[in-house]
Amino acid sequence: MSRSLIVQKFGGSSVANPERIKRVAQRVVETRRQGRDVVVVVSALGDTTDELLELARQISQDPPERELDMLMATGEQVSVALLAMAIEELGEDAISFTGAQVGIRTDSSHTKAKLIDINARRIQQELAKGRVVIVAGFQGISVNQDITTLGRGGSDLTAVALAEALDADACEIYTDVEGVFTADPRIVPNAHKLKSISYDEMLEMASLGAQVMQARSIFVAKRFDVPIHVRSSFSSREGTMITKAAKAMEDIVVSGVTLQRDEAKVTIRDVPDKPGMAAQIFKELAAQDINVDMIVQNVSREGATDVSFTVVKHDLPATLRVARHAAARVGAGDVATDEGVAKLSIVGIGMRSHSGVAAKMFEAMARERINIEMISTSEIKISCVIRKAHAERAVRAIHQAFGLSRR
Residue numbers of the site for ligand ASP (CB under 6 A)?
11-12, 43-44, 49, 75, 137-138, 152-156
User: Quick one: 150 or 188, whose CB is closer to ligand ASP?
Assistant: 150
Backbone angles phi, psi at 124, to 5 degrees: -60, -40
Cβ of residue 131: shortest distance to Mg ion, in angstroms?
25
Which residues make Cβ contacts (< 8 Å) with residue 99, sequence separation at least 6? 73, 76, 135, 136, 138, 139, 140, 141, 147, 158
State which amino acid sits at residue 194.
L
- In the bound state with Mg ion, the residue whose beta carbon lies nearer, of 43 and 308, is 43
CA pair distance 108, 215, nearest whole angstrom: 20
CB of 55 to ligand ASP, least distance (A): 14
Helix (H, G, I), strand (E, B) or coil at 185: coil
**Which residue, 102 or 397, has its beta carbon nearer to ligand ASP?**
102
# of chain residues touching Mg ion (CB under 5 A): 2
Applying the rule CB under 5 A, the residues between 39 and 78 that interact with Mg ion are 43
Could you tell me the smallest distance in angstroms from the CB atom of residue 361 to ligand ASP?
33
Which residue blocks in 183-214 are alpha helix, DSSP H?
Answer: 199-207
Q: How far is the CB of 280 from ligand ASP (least distance, A)?
A: 37
Name the packing angle between helices 48-59 and 65-89 (round to 10°): 150
Q: Site residues for Mg ion, window 24-43 (CB under 5 A)?
A: 43
By C-beta, is 43 or 98 nearer to ligand ASP? 43
* Minimum CB distance to Mg ion smaller for 213 or for 285: 213
By beta-carbon distance, which residue lies closest to ligand ASP?
155
Taking contact as CB under 5 A, which single stretch among the options 4-12, 216-224, 237-245, 388-396 is the one that binds Mg ion? Answer: 4-12
* 75 interacts with, out of Mg ion, ligand ASP, none, CB within 5 to 8 A per kind: ligand ASP
* φ and ψ of 113, to 5 deg: -65, 150
N- to C-terminal Cα separation, the chain: 41
Quick one: 43 or 255, whose CB is closer to Mg ion? 43
**Pairwise CA distance, residues 101 & 251, whole Å:** 47
Q: Are strands 196-198 and 139-142 parallel, antiparallel or unpaired?
A: unpaired
Q: How far is the CB of 316 from Mg ion (least distance, A)?
A: 25
The residue number with the shortest CB distance to Mg ion is 12
Q: Which strands, in side-by-side order, build the sheet including 256-260?
A: 256-260, 341-347, 381-387, 374-378
Are the CB atoms for 156 and 217 separated by under 8 Å? yes
217 binds Mg ion (CB under 5 A): no
Helix/strand/coil for 402:
coil
d(CA 69, CA 121): 25
Q: How far is the CB of 233 from ligand ASP (least distance, A)?
A: 13
What, of ligand ASP, Mg ion, none, does residue 309 touch, CB below 5 to 8 Å by kind? Answer: none
Nearer to Mg ion, 21 or 281 (CB): 21
12 belongs to the binding site for Mg ion (CB under 5 A): yes
Whole-number minimum distance, CB 147 to ligand ASP, in Å? 14
Minimum CB separation from ligand ASP for residue 217, in Å? Answer: 9
Q: Which stretch binds Mg ion (CB under 5 A): 5-13, 106-114, 178-186, 294-302?
A: 5-13
Query: Would strands 115-118 and 381-387 be described as parallel, antiparallel, or unpaired?
Result: unpaired
Which long-range contacts does 298-303 make (Cβ < 8 Å, 24+ apart)? 300/273, 303/272, 303/273, 303/274
By C-beta, is 160 or 397 nearer to ligand ASP? 160
Point out which residues bind Mg ion (CB under 5 A): 12, 43
